[in-house]
């Protein structure tokens, strides 16, 4: 039976630490046109390879500018803006988004994941900037993006169990599904959403994805 265990382990596919489900928010599925930016992470690079997305981290924005395939491409920062690349000031981040917009042209799209500063569990993740949905929205608008859509994410950006529109029905449904075994918390959230509204509840989600078009 020991032999069985060794043999079966060899036959099992590798299960990664990242689900890449943000891909479902993007309008195209051509992996060659998806440029993903993140801080060095071998496991994440291998996960991208699994679905055929080229590993773009090593490319500078200038390299990408010279690429022919960048029309109608997706530019993805799945864990947020890297601290090493972009300053924490509002002006730095707007400037960065502005340069992304120029790079994308009129046909591309941008996806950024980010943790809420309220999310105490991700406090130790200092490689990427925290943000809020309001702040991100206003930065992208100032950078010239016209269509901006924010999605709520539970519980983490690496393996989101839920990704949802920030409208009343999906938010209610997600909270009910997520907290059905914690009735006290669920009742509290429902009470809050009736009194202060879904929009305010949505400000306290652990993390988000935002998709923006020119």
* Residue 15 binds to other proteins (criterion: CB under 8 A): yes
DSSP secondary structure of 75-138: EEETT-SBTTTS-SSHHHHHHHHHHHHHHHTTT-EEEEEEE-TT-GGGTT--SB----HHHHHH
Token pair 């730095």 is found at: 92
Binding-site member from 32, 51, 147, 188 for other proteins (CB under 8 A): 51
Binding-site member from 79, 114, 145, 164 for other proteins (CB under 8 A): 164
From 2-10, 77-85, 129-137, 200-208, give the range in contact with other proteins by CB under 8 A.
Answer: 2-10
* Residue 16 binds to other proteins (criterion: CB under 8 A): yes
CA distance 159 to 24: 13
* Residue 62 binds to other proteins (criterion: CB under 8 A): no
* Residue 184 binds to other proteins (criterion: CB under 8 A): no
Binding mask 94-133 for other proteins (x = CB under 8 A): ----------------------------------------
Give me 103's structure tokens: 């790079």
Binding-site member from 49, 65, 69, 159 for other proteins (CB under 8 A): 159
Which residues 6+ apart lie within 8 Å of 114 measured at CB?
79, 80, 81, 128, 129, 130, 131, 136, 157, 207, 208, 210
CA distance 38 to 45: 9
* Residue 39 binds to other proteins (criterion: CB under 8 A): no
Q: What is the contact surface with other proteins in residues (CB under 8 A)?
A: 1, 3-5, 7-8, 11-13, 15-21, 24, 27-29, 47, 50-51, 158-165, 167, 169-170, 172-174, 177, 180-181
């Amino acid at each position: 039976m020991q032999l069985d265990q060794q043999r079966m382990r060899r036959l099992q596919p590798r299960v990664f630490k990242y689900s890449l489900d943000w891909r479902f928010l993007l309008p195209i599925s051509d992996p060659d046109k998806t440029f993903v930016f993140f801080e060095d992470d071998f496991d994440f690079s291998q996960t991208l390879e699994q679905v055929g997305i080229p590993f773009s981290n090593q490319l500078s924005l200038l390299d990408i500018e010279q690429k022919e395939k960048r029309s109608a491409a997706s530019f993805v920062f799945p864990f947020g803006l890297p601290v090493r690349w972009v300053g924490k000031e509002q002006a730095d981040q707007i400037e960065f988004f502005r340069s992304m917009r120029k790079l994308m042209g009129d046909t591309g799209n941008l996806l950024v994941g980010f943790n809420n500063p309220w999310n105490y569990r991700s406090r130790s993740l200092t490689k990427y900037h925290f943000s809020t949905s309001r702040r991100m929205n206003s930065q992208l608008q100032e950078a010239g993006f016209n269509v901006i859509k924010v999605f709520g994410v539970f519980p983490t950006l690496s393996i989101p169990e839920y990704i949802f529109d920030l409208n009343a029905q999906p938010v209610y449904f997600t909270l009910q599904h997520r907290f059905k075994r914690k009735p006290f918390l669920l009742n509290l959230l429902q009470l809050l959403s009736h009194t202060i509204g879904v929009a305010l509840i949505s400000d306290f989600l652990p993390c988000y994805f935002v998709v923006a078009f020119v």
